[in-house]
């Protein structure tokens, strides 16, 4: 399959986890992939690992900094002339503690990446897509963006905000042939989940029991959904929240 041949795809949070695996899948379908991440060393290592699959360009950037966001958008357009797909994926989990033990700094740290970072990416990528008259955007939220959970209030709030950003921009940019959707993973086998497990004092086997299918999600589960939403075959889907959660949302 080469549905993405010569398509230009930006992936934030692209140096590892879901971002990296999604990049692999786009490269396997002959896309040109731009990976954006805060961690330059990890980005460089990921590029070396992915180079045999196809064309990979890396940009070190802080998604919460508007000048950095302008940089990764401008550099992509200068290099390739367009942005076909934007996987707005960067995020952090934040502190695990009751709200009574969270402070404003804990809240602001999470919102800076998970909300301001998503907002800024949308602001600057959608401007390019509007001018070119097409595009597909996929924002990473979480099952936490669709319901509540104790101990991670800033994270829950941030992922609910991603839903609002998705719905608002989907309506605003539909007239320009631009689609915006969000994906909502369950707990998945990523570095972020290891951190959350440690903070909650719970292991994978125990937490997996809360998932009807009885296991954590894997990065390819999410990546497959992202590619579906990015594909022209899903060109009547916008403003939606798509769960990849092993049935958690049905509980």
Q: Is residue 149 part of a domain?
A: yes
Task: Output 34 or 245, whichever has higher pLDDT.
Answer: 34
Which pLDDT belongs to residue 196?
Answer: 61
Task: Output 226 or 188, whichever has higher pLDDT.
Answer: 226
Q: Round to whole Å and give the CA distance between 167 and 71.
A: 26
- What CATH code is carried by the domain that includes residue 33? 3.40.50.720
Q: Is residue 3 part of a domain?
A: no
Q: Is residue 2 part of a domain?
A: no
Which pLDDT belongs to residue 186?
Answer: 80
* Candidates 72, 155, 216, 242; catalytic one: 155
Q: Round to whole Å and give the CA distance between 162 and 142.
A: 9
Q: With cut-offs at 50, 70 and 90, classify the pLDDT of residue 197.
A: low
What mean pLDDT value characterizes the chain? Answer: 93
pLDDT of 193 above 70: no
Active-site residue 155, yes or no?
yes
- Structural domain boundaries, residue 207: 8-250
Q: Is residue 33 part of a domain?
A: yes
Q: Is residue 213 part of a domain?
A: yes
Q: Round to whole Å and give the CA distance between 114 and 3.
A: 30
What tokens were used for 186? 């369950």
What tokens were used for 200? 């909650």
| Number of separate domains in the chain | 1
Q: With cut-offs at 50, 70 and 90, classify the pLDDT of residue 204.
A: low
What tokens were used for 243? 């769960």
Q: Is residue 1 part of a domain?
A: no
Half-sphere exposure of 52 (CA within 13 A, CB side): 2
Q: Round to whole Å and give the CA distance between 134 and 13.
A: 23
């Amino acid at each position: 399959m080469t549905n993405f041949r010569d398509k230009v795809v930006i992936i934030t949070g692209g140096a590892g986890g879901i971002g990296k695996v999604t990049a692999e899948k786009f490269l396997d379908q002959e896309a040109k992939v731009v990976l954006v991440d805060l961690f330059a060393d990890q980005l460089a290592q990921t590029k070396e690992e992915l180079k045999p699959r196809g064309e990979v360009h890396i940009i070190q950037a802080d998604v919460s900094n508007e000048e950095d966001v302008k940089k990764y958008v401008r550099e992509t357009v200068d290099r390739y002339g367009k942005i076909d797909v934007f996987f707005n994926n960067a995020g952090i989990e934040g502190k695990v503690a009751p709200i009574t033990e969270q402070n404003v700094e804990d809240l602001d740290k999470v919102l800076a990446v998970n909300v301001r970072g998503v907002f800024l990416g949308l602001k600057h990528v959608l401007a390019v897509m509007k001018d070119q008259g097409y595009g597909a955007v996929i924002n990473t939220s979480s099952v936490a963006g669709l319901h509540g959970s104790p101990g991670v209030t800033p994270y829950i709030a941030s992922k609910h905000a991603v839903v609002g950003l998705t719905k608002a921009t989907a309506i605003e940019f539909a007239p320009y042939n631009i689609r915006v959707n969000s994906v909502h993973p369950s707990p998945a086998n990523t570095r972020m989940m290891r951190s959350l497990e440690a903070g909650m004092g719970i292991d994978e086997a125990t937490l997996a029991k809360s998932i009807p299918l009885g296991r954590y999600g894997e990065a390819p589960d999410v990546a497959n959904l992202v590619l579906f939403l990015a594909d022209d075959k899903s060109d009547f889907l916008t403003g939606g929240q798509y769960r990849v959660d092993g049935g958690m949302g049905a509980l």
